[in-house]
Amino acid sequence: MVERLNDLYEKFKAKFEGVNGECYRVAKIEEIGNLAVKILANKGAKTIALYESPLSQAAKLKEKLCSAGFEVHTDNLFAASSQDDVGITEVNWGIAELGSMVQIAPEVDNRLCSTLVPIHLALLRTKSIVADVDEIMEILDNLPQIPGFVGFITGPSRSSDIERILEIGVHGPEQVILILVDE
């Protein structure tokens, strides 16, 4: 099981970084906060829209970011995410075949924190990486209820015009960062 998980992680990481995503891995939940502080400080971030989730709460992420001097918003995320430097969400799965993250987010605030900000930092449990699209479609098909929203996030927003000039961050984040946790 551990060997398969490590193999899926390595495949996911290679594909995710191949589309300009940044991928980090920690062993314990309590390591998430220190790593997030380091990454976001290096990027010069000051303000954060945090959609609180079970993983962010278990990591005490809000407290760690605030104590490091970041201004963290958890309320009125519609206004915050359109102004803040970073949005933080938890995603549900990663697809190794594509380097894509899968986000079930019927809550508008959750989607805003991953799309309106210049930098999206996502959290994911390593054990939630699946091999391919067929596997994720089977998982989604077997959910007790069809989700109101399922987003597939594959790196920073990319767009090009008729002249084939690639632009990053036009219709979403310019940077996408993922922290995976083994615990």
Write out pLDDT tens, residues 60-115. 999 999 999 999 999 999 889 889 999 999 999 999 999 999 999 888 888 888 88
Of residues 65 and 151, the one with the higher pLDDT is 65
Q: Sorting pLDDT into bands at 50, 70 and 90, what band is 38?
A: very high
User: What percent of the chain clears pLDDT 90, i.e. is strictly above it?
Assistant: 70
Mean of the per-residue pLDDT values for the chain? 90
Share of the chain above pLDDT 70, in %: 90
pLDDT recorded at residue 169: 45
CA–chain centroid gap for 97, Å, is 17
Q: Residue 56 — very low, low, confident or very high, per pLDDT cuts 50/70/90?
A: very high
- Give me the architecture of the 2-181 domain, per CATH: 3-Layer(aba) Sandwich (3.40)
* Mean pLDDT to the nearest integer, 41-47: 97
Asked if pLDDT for residue 161 goes beyond 70, the answer is no
Q: Give the model's pLDDT for residue 162.
A: 55
pLDDT of residue 106: 84
Query: Which ranges constitute the DSSP H helices of 43-83?
Result: 54-58, 61-67, 77-83
DSSP 127: G
Local confidence band at 163 (pLDDT 50, 70, 90 cut-offs): low
Cα four-point dihedral sign 72, 87, 140, 94: negative
Q: Is the pLDDT of residue 175 over 80?
A: yes
Rounded distance between C-alpha atoms, residue 13 and residue 39, angstroms: 17
**CA distances from residue 97 to 7, 9, 162, 176 in whole angstroms, order as listed:** 11, 10, 29, 18
pLDDT, position 105: 87
- pLDDT for 165: 55
Torsion of CA 123, 128, 134, 140, to 10 degrees: -80
Tens of pLDDT, residues 14-34 = 999 998 899 999 999 999 999
